[in-house]
């Protein structure tokens, strides 16, 4: 808590289990806390870990729901959390491609780590209030020195179409593609196969509030065993 606007940055350097790996993140702003958080991806390709914290002064009833690509529910878990209690739902039970939505009757924050060897990605729970969901998403970098992978999750109330514009470093449009209609709470994946594997930027224009998640898996000749992850920056 601060008497003036601040930002906080964290570095985590693993010593056991993932020696040689590190992750970084900014503190999550809870001036206007959310009661719903989203993770566009939980996957059998990763060892997934999710933590949810009740940041209210009252007990919170929390439900975690996993959904498949078309938005259908495939798994759920519930817990009651005391004020500022942390909970780790067993998302490793899911073991298939899915998204996860966390719903609560009190304000919450959430965080996901996904591990695979030396590759460790971390994401805050996304929400409209923390401006990680919107209709215009921008990724300041795509990079030809590895595999770029994107998942776009529709959290609106109708079918969503995503139009992607890939530009090179000079701003020239290199590629434009469009998604099929994405169901409510469903998702769509785009990779270098569709995007053209260039170095530049990516913009996504969406007809419904959407979360965009990017993974960059570096080529062995660039940064062997290293990956980074991020959400698209909302430009609404």
Query: What six digits make up the tokens of 79?
Result: 């817990």
* pLDDT for residue 18 is more than 80: no
SS3 139: strand
Span of 97-106, 119-128, 171-180 with lowest mean pLDDT: 119-128
Residue, of 27 and 168, whose pLDDT is higher: 168
* pLDDT for residue 224 is more than 90: no
- Assess if residue 175 is contained within a domain: yes
Q: Report the pLDDT averaged over residues 147-162.
A: 97
* pLDDT for residue 221 is more than 90: no
Q: What does the pLDDT look like over 110-141, one tens digit per residue?
A: 999 998 888 889 999 999 998 999 999 999 99
- Assess if residue 170 is contained within a domain: yes
Largest CA distance in the chain: 52
Q: What does the pLDDT look like over 47-83, one tens digit per residue?
A: 999 999 999 999 999 999 999 999 999 999 999 999 9
Same domain, 76 and 145: no
Residue, of 31 and 172, whose pLDDT is higher: 172
Instruction: Give the per-residue pLDDT at 226.
Output: 85
- Assess if residue 94 is contained within a domain: yes
Instruction: Give the per-residue pLDDT at 188.
Output: 98
* pTM given for the model: 0.93
Alpha-carbon gap, residue 32 to 53, rounded angstroms: 15
| CA-angle at 112, arms to 108 and 116, nearest 5° | 170
Same domain, 153 and 95: no
Same domain, 215 and 152: yes
Residue 161 contacts residue 181 (beta carbons within 8 Å)? yes
Same domain, 194 and 215: yes
Same domain, 103 and 139: no
Q: Which domain holds residue 91?
A: 33-124
Alpha-carbon gap, residue 200 to 3, rounded angstroms: 39
| CA-angle at 149, arms to 69 and 183, nearest 5° | 25
Same domain, 118 and 206: no
DSSP 8-state secondary structure symbol assigned to residue 28? P
Same domain, 209 and 229: yes
Average pLDDT, the chain: 94
- Cα separations (Å) of 118 from 203, 224, 226? 29, 9, 7
Residue, of 21 and 202, whose pLDDT is higher: 202
Confidence of residue 178 (pLDDT cuts 50, 70, 90): very high
- Assess if residue 10 is contained within a domain: no
Tally the domains of the chain: 2
Confidence of residue 107 (pLDDT cuts 50, 70, 90): very high
Q: Report the pLDDT averaged over residues 203-224.
A: 93
Same domain, 144 and 208: yes
Residue after which a domain boundary falls, among 84, 106, 124 = 124
Same domain, 155 and 179: yes
Residue after which a domain boundary falls, among 77, 102, 124 = 124
Same domain, 169 and 222: yes
CATH of residue 91: 2.60.290.11
Alpha-carbon gap, residue 56 to 107, rounded angstroms: 6
Alpha-carbon gap, residue 167 to 174, rounded angstroms: 5
The stretches of 86-225 forming alpha helices (DSSP H) are 192-195, 220-223
- Assess if residue 9 is contained within a domain: no
The pLDDT > 90 percentage for the chain reads 78
Same domain, 120 and 202: no
* pLDDT for residue 193 is more than 90: yes
Instruction: Give the per-residue pLDDT at 139.
Output: 97
Residue after which a domain boundary falls, among 60, 93, 124 = 124
- Assess if residue 120 is contained within a domain: yes
217 - beta bridge partners? Answer: 147, 227
Same domain, 96 and 145: no
- Assess if residue 46 is contained within a domain: yes
- Assess if residue 149 is contained within a domain: yes
Confidence of residue 17 (pLDDT cuts 50, 70, 90): low
Per-residue burial over 133-167, b = 16 or more CB atoms within 10 Å of its CB, e = otherwise: bbbebebeebbeebebbbbbbbbbeeebbbebebb
């Amino acid at each position: 808590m601060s008497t003036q606007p601040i930002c906080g940055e964290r570095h985590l350097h693993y010593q056991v289990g993932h020696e040689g790996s590190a992750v970084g993140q900014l503190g999550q702003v809870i001036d206007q806390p959310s009661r719903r958080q989203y993770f566009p991806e939980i996957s059998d390709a990763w060892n997934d870990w999710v933590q949810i914290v009740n940041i209210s002064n009252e007990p919170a009833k929390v439900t975690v729901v996993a959904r498949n690509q078309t938005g259908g529910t495939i798994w759920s878990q519930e817990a009651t959390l005391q004020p500022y209690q942390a909970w780790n739902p067993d998302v490793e039970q899911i073991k298939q491609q899915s998204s996860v939505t966390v719903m609560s009757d009190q304000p919450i924050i959430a965080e996901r780590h996904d591990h695979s060897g030396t590759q460790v990605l971390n994401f805050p729970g996304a929400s409209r209030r923390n401006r990680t969901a919107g209709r215009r998403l921008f990724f300041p970098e795509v990079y030809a020195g590895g595999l770029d992978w994107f998942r776009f999750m529709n959290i609106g109330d109708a079918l969503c179409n995503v139009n992607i514009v890939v530009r090179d470093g000079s701003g020239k449009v290199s590629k434009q593609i469009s998604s099929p209609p994405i169901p409510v709470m469903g998702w769509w994946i785009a990779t270098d196969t569709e995007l053209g594997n260039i170095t530049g930027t990516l913009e996504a224009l969406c007809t419904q509030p959407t979360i965009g998640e990017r993974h960059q898996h570096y080529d062995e000749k660039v940064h062997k065993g290293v990956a980074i992850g991020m959400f698209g920056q909302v430009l609404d």
